[in-house]
Amino acid sequence: MPDLLELKNVTKTYSRGVLSRTSTTALNDVSLKLAENEPTIMTVAGESGSGKTTLAMLLLGFITPTSGQILYQGQDISRLSGAARVSFRREVQAVFQDPFAVFNPFYTVDHLLTVPIKKFKLAKNKAEARDRMEEALTAVGLRPEDILGRFPHQLSGGQRQRINVARALVLKPKLLVADEPVSMVDASLRANILETLRSLQRNHGVSIIYITHDLTTAYHIAKSIIVLYRGSVMEAGDVDAVIKNPQHPYTRLLIDSIPWPDLSRRWGETEIKARESEGASHGEGCKFAPRCPFAMEQCVTPPPLFQLNKHQATSCYLHATSPQIASEQLSELLPV
């Protein structure tokens, strides 16, 4: 049985203009797999410019990879046609960062839910459509009578974001790509939305790719994590192992920079090296080398992945004594 989703050495470069030779590699040789029968939550983490959103756009089929393939149930998503394309569109859903921008202020929120029901012919009549909507809203913890018929400006950010999740749920997806779903809602509502996402995975069998820069929420919701920096995988593995025992200098910097709500755990003393503007011109080697406090001579050649233990691998020469693995094997060590 083919996997639900498979990325084969996917690379995406953006080139600026027709004549310009400068190009930016947004994603560099990423391979991963999600199994169909084992719904999981995988986090893709990294700072701005690390290629997280590019990955989301690729998965949703909005852009095509420069090289490599993305297979959905064994079929290349850029070549889907007809019925296969429609079912891909239905089964792979997205929740975006900004709950304010996705609503059309002229329509009531019902519009957001009825359009997909009509488009994909999910209901035979109006009553059934309404049942579908109410079911989805209840599943995300909203009371349909409070929500239906209201305009977006009458709802809070947390409610709107949950409606977005409900919209995805109406379509009974198999994969949900959540791009920073909680970065714009209040801390007290964050918990509700994360809980909603987790119950989707547990009770509705939806696999979720959770894209974020917030490692605290990632830790709480995900099983596995992939840390990206400038399009390359820095570290990946079991979320407990990576966050409690980070091995790559970049992951350490990220975790050191989390403002923990804990007075005994101060912000790290480790100096933040280099400004974002520098390091823009980097060579072939490790992308993090210009900012890395441990940069060595060999960092000019790109480091392969070194497997540290059963569920953790890092792309750093500091761990050169560990066995090497090919980037295609990365998803084998991610727990589900």
Partner 1 sequence: MNPVLQVIDLQVSYYTDTGRAIALNGVTLALSAGEKLGLVGESGSGKSTMALAMMRMIKPPGRIEGGQVIVGDTDLTKLSNDDMLKARLSKIAYIPQGAMNSLNPVMRIGDQMADAIRAHDPKADKFAVEDRCVGALESVDLKPSVYKMYAHELSGGMKQRVCIAIGILLKPQVIIADEPTSALDVVTQRQVMETIDRVQKQIGAAVILIGHDMGLMAQFVDKVAVMYAGRLAEMSTVRQMFTTPAHPYAQALISSLPSLDNKGVFQGIPGLAPSLLRLPSGCAFHPRCPHAMDVCTTKRPELETLDDGRRVACHLYPEKA
Judging by DSSP bridges, how do beta strands 5-15 and 41-45 pair with one another?
A: unpaired
Amino acid identity of residue 106, one-letter, is F
Stretch that binds partner 1, among 3-11, 80-88, 170-178, 193-201 (CB under 8 A): 193-201
Q: What residues between 154 and 183 interact with partner 1 by CB under 8 A?
A: 156-157
Site string for partner 1, 271-290 (x = CB under 8 A): -x--xxx-------------
Residue 125 is a binding residue for partner 1 (CB under 8 A): no
- For the CB of residue 98, give the shortest distance to partner 1 in the complex, in Å: 10
Amino acid identity of residue 221, one-letter, is I
Query: Residues 190, 182: contact at Cβ < 8 Å?
Result: yes
- For the CB of residue 4, give the shortest distance to partner 1 in the complex, in Å: 24
Site string for partner 1, 295-324 (x = CB under 8 A): ------------------------------
- For the CB of residue 259, give the shortest distance to partner 1 in the complex, in Å: 4
Q: Residue count at the site for partner 1 (CB under 8 A)?
A: 42
- Residue 115 tokens read as 């359009």
* Phi, psi (degrees; rounded to nearest 5) at 203: -100, -20
Enumerate the β-bridge partners of residue 309.
312
Site string for partner 1, 95-114 (x = CB under 8 A): --------------------
Q: Of residues 93, 164, 217, 232, which one binds partner 1 by CB under 8 A?
A: 217
Residue 186 is a binding residue for partner 1 (CB under 8 A): yes
Site string for partner 1, 18-57 (x = CB under 8 A): -----------------------------xxx--------
Stretch that binds partner 1, among 66-74, 101-109, 257-265, 281-289 (CB under 8 A): 257-265
Residue 188 is a binding residue for partner 1 (CB under 8 A): yes
The whole-angstrom distance between residue 16's C-alpha and the CA centroid of its chain comes to 25
- For the CB of residue 97, give the shortest distance to partner 1 in the complex, in Å: 10
Rank residues 93 and 217 by Cβ distance to partner 1 and give the closer one.
217
Rank residues 188 and 321 by Cβ distance to partner 1 and give the closer one.
188
Rank residues 157 and 205 by Cβ distance to partner 1 and give the closer one.
157
Stretch that binds partner 1, among 12-20, 65-73, 187-195, 308-316 (CB under 8 A): 187-195
Stretch that binds partner 1, among 14-22, 58-66, 270-278, 304-312 (CB under 8 A): 270-278
Q: Using H for helix, E for strand and C for coil, what is the string for the chain?
A: CCCCEEEEEEEEEEECCCCCCCEEEEEEEEEEEECCCCCCEEEEECCCCCCHHHHHHHHCCCCCCCEEEEEECCEEHHHCCHHHHHHHHHHEEEECCCCCCCCCCCCCCHHHHHHHHHHCCCCCCHHHHHHHHHHHHHHCCCCHHHHCCCCHHHCCHHHHHHHHHHHHHHCCCCEEEEECCCCCCCHHHHHHHHHHHHHHHHHHCCEEEEEECCHHHHHHHCCEEEEEECCEEEEEEEHHHHHHCCCCHHHHHHHHCCCCCCCCCCCCCCCCCCCCCCCCCCCCCCCCHHHCCCCCHHHHCCCCEEEEECCEEECCHHHCCCCEECHHHHHHHCCC
- For the CB of residue 36, give the shortest distance to partner 1 in the complex, in Å: 24
Residues binding partner 1 (CB under 8 A): 47-49, 156-157, 184, 186-192, 194-195, 198, 213-217, 219-221, 240, 243-244, 253-254, 257-263, 266-267, 272, 275-277
